[in-house]
Amino acid sequence: MNTLEDDGVEFPLGHFFPVASDNHDDSDLLLPAPAPPIHAEIIRIDFETQTHQTIALSLSVDAGPGCGGIAWPAGEVLASYISRRGSTLEGLNVLELGSGTGLVGLVAGYLGARVCITDQAPLIPIMERNISLNGLQSHVTATELDWAKPLPELLQLPDIVLAADCIYLEATFPLLVSTLVALVPQPPGRAPEVLLSYKKRRKADKRFFALLKTHFTWSSLVDDDVDDRAQERHDRGGITLLRLFRRP
């Protein structure tokens, strides 16, 4: 796993975030920085497919509902990885957990997948706004999904499960793991592909993976499948990309 820490690599909202000193002892760091004072701004984020097609997204970001309303680097890295999958996503059912702005799911929808982006109720308006901004109403829907509750009965078993930067609040770790367990049947059942992107936060991620390993194994994804900008984020920002596998 990547053990490097964030050293101030630029990203679309980078000017809102302080850069930590290399000498700062953040061994107890569990949470991302407080949500910056951003309200109803629209940014543009571009991704490139393997065939050099540009995916240009307009993204409404708003810190009003909390840090979930911001586009974080782990989401950009996973979105870049998804963009390189290109037309292979067409027609697949994709579910994104903890979507926030919906960035990763929007990229999947742009590539022709049938996508359900999910989060808690306060973030639904932001997700719906971003679906509309990008004209993806026919491919992407926004749905409330509370990890503390059973999965909705109408939720279709996905082909792919996406989760970006969902590992930061320790109280939610068991809830996220239980949601993944509910979504991914044990072998020999048909299991969806599970892709996880996260920012390494030392103690926090160790506690999460201690819970996760009871039900899943995982492997690192190939770095070549992200574009140059996201690769910088991956290499220098402490972002790790994983594929999860359900234990028998």
140-195: pLDDT as tens digits:
999 999 999 999 887 888 999 999 999 988 999 999 999 999 999 888 878 899 99
Determine the Cα–Cα distance for residues 226 and 49; give it in Å rounded to an integer: 9
Please tell me the pTM assigned to this model: 0.81
Q: For residue 219, give the H/E element and its range.
A: strand 216-220
Q: What is the pLDDT along the chain (248 residues), one digit of tens a residue?
A: 333 333 333 333 333 333 333 344 444 444 555 555 677 799 999 999 989 999 999 999 988 777 888 888 999 999 999 999 988 999 999 999 999 999 999 999 999 999 999 999 999 999 999 999 999 999 999 999 999 999 988 788 899 999 999 998 899 999 999 999 999 988 887 889 999 999 887 677 889 999 999 999 999 986 555 555 555 555 546 899 999 999 99
63 is in an annotated binding site: no
Residues 6+ apart with CB under 8 A from 202: 26, 27, 28, 29
230 is in an annotated binding site: no
Q: Which amino acid is at 95?
A: L
Domain boundaries, the chain: 35-246
119 is in an annotated binding site: yes
Determine the Cα–Cα distance for residues 128 and 142; give it in Å rounded to an integer: 6
The contacts found for 61-64 with CB under 8 angstroms, 24 or more apart, are 61/13, 61/101, 61/126, 62/38, 62/126, 63/35, 63/36, 63/37, 63/38, 63/39, 64/39, 64/40
Packing angle of the helix pair 173-183, 203-212 (nearest 10 deg): 40
6 is in an annotated binding site: no
238 is in an annotated binding site: no
Predicted local distance difference test score (pLDDT) of residue 156 = 82
Predicted local distance difference test score (pLDDT) of residue 7 = 32
DSSP 40-60: SEEEEEEEE-TT--EEEEEEE
99 is in an annotated binding site: yes
Homologous superfamily, domain 35-246: Vaccinia Virus protein VP39 (3.40.50.150)
The DSSP bridge partners found for residue 54 are 48
